[in-house]
């Protein structure tokens, strides 16, 4: 971070967004205060034997933000710059995400400060098992279910399920979602985050009367969500994806970029940068392209008050968590950019994770068309609930999504007699 960049604390952002919704909903002070903070969090210290025989000490977290509506649910990140405030913010957003799509879960999140890119598979496995040995006491199908997130994957989830099952003395597949298919995973989970976002995009295009066939699209971030957004956007609607980027930079071609070719190139070289027939652009330039659809799929706080006025897209589908700051939201709203906010747009992942928990609980598994159909219904209903709230209250979509979600959680908090 350069000296002229100011650190944006993601948890302060999450609290600021909640405060705005609480004021409009006229929440009583106790309920508001309860919802501003995690119900519980566990900090763990993890000694791990490394391949060279040394022992390295890692720090990890698990935050269970609010379980009023049901067990908590949320991803687990392995990242060198992980912070407790990032984990708190993501756990808060998971709480609102589960509520906005109306699934009976609360929000949780976990993280370990580590650099998995500099670790062997054996070291990552030992770290994964060490994490479960420490947090195992507070997780489970009926308590809290982790899932893959940044730099974690189905294999890591499989090791964690195995460690937890060993501790419990019986197979407990439902403790973790995003597992490999033959270990109790769900069909349709791989592309669920992007697919849910695409269902929301479809509904937004109807409201705004924008034809999606050949609609120019820029995707920032080419990991799981971003790459699936590329292939699904083309497959479902015929989008013309003109720009994509990853952590090393971006590429642009006005005629459109072939998913198969770009994806293969990234697999071979480690980046989209240098893709033949494309012009190199920066991540910052990608956000400001004159396109119909922008899909921020990278990290937090990429659209701020410094660049929001330069965003020219008609629709922003936020597959990343927290890509837009509260100040930027106001600018985008005033400029007529239709934002499908993160905890609505990317809720497809947790929705299918919930479906996975349901399938694990009664040991009966659905086919892929059933998963897609049920996901479509959940996302479509959630989209229209948020759009309706935005119209009624004359507010931007993120605040509308908060109004829907916070109201649902607050109602249960009151019913249970917590406040």
- Told to judge if 109 belongs to the known catalytic residues of this protein, a careful annotator would answer yes
Catalytic residue among 73, 109, 179, 266: 109
The rounded distance, in Å, linking the Cα atoms of 247 and 243 is: 14
| HEC letters along the chain | CCCCCCCCCHHHHHHHHHHHHHHHHCCCHHHHHHHCCCCEEEEEEEEEECCCCCEEEEEEEEEEEECCCCCEEEEEEEECCCCHHHHHHHHHHHHHHHHHCCCCCEEEEEEEECCHHHCCHHHHHHHHHHHHHHHHHHCECCCEEEEECCCCCHHHHHHHHHHHHHHHCCCCHHHCCCCCHHHCCCCCCCCHHHHHHHHHHHHHHHHHCCCCCCCEEEEECCCHHHHHHHHHHHHHHCCEEEEEEECCEEEECCCCCCHHHHHHHHHHHCCCCCCCCCEEECHHHHHCCCCCEEEECCCCCCECCCCHHHCCCCEEECCCCCCECHHHHHHHHHCCCEEECHHHHCCHHHHHHHHHHHHHHHCCCCCHHHHHHHHHHHHHHHHHHHHHHHHHHCCCHHHHHHHHHHHHHHHHHHHCCCC
The rounded distance, in Å, linking the Cα atoms of 73 and 139 is: 10
For the annotated catalytic residues, the residue numbers are 109
């Amino acid at each position: 971070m350069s000296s002229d960049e100011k650190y944006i604390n993601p948890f302060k952002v999450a609290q600021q967004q909640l405060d705005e919704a609480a004021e409009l909903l006229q929440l009583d002070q106790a309920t508001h205060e309860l919802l501003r903070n995690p119900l519980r969090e566990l900090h763990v210290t993890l000694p791990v034997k490394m391949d060279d025989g040394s022992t390295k000490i890692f720090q990890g977290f698990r935050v269970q933000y609010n379980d009023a509506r049901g067990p908590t649910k949320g991803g687990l990140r392995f990242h060198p710059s992980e912070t407790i405030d990032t984990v708190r913010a993501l756990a808060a957003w998971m709480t609102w995400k589960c509520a906005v799509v109306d699934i009976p879960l609360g929000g949780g999140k976990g993280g370990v400060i580590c650099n998995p890119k500099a670790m062997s598979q054996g070291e990552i496995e030992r770290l994964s098992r060490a994490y479960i040995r420490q947090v195992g006491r507070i997780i489970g199908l009926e308590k809290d279910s982790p899932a893959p997130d940044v730099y974690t994957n189905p294999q890591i989830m499989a090791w964690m399920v195995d460690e937890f099952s060993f501790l419990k003395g019986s197979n407990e597949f439902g403790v973790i979602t995003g597992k490999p298919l033959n270990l109790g995973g769900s069909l349709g989970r791989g592309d669920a985050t992007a697919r849910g976002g695409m269902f929301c995009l479809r509904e937004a295009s109807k409201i705004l009367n924008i034809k999606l066939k050949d609609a120019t699209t820029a995707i920032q971030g080419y990991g799981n969500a971003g790459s699936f957004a590329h292939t699904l956007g083309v497959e479902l609607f015929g989008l013309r994806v003109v720009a994509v980027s990853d952590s090393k930079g971006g590429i642009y071609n006005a005629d459109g970029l072939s998913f198969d070719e770009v994806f293969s190139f990234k697999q071979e070289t480690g980046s989209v940068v240098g893709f033949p027939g494309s012009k190199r652009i920066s991540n910052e330039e990608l956000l400001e392209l004159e396109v119909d659809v922008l899909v921020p799929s990278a990290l937090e706080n990429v659209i701020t008050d410094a660049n929001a006025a330069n965003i020219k897209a008609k629709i922003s589908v936020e597959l990343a968590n927290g890509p837009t700051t509260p100040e930027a939201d106001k600018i985008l709203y005033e400029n007529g950019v239709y934002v499908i906010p993160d905890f609505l747009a990317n809720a497809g992942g947790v929705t299918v994770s919930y479906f996975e928990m349901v399938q694990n609980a009664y040991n009966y598994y659905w086919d892929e068309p059933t998963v897609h159909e049920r996901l479509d219904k959940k996302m479509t209903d959630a989209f229209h609930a948020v759009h309706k709230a935005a119209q009624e209250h004359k507010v931007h979509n993120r605040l509308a999504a908060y109004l829907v979600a916070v109201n649902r959680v607050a109602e249960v908090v009151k019913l249970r007699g917590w406040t």
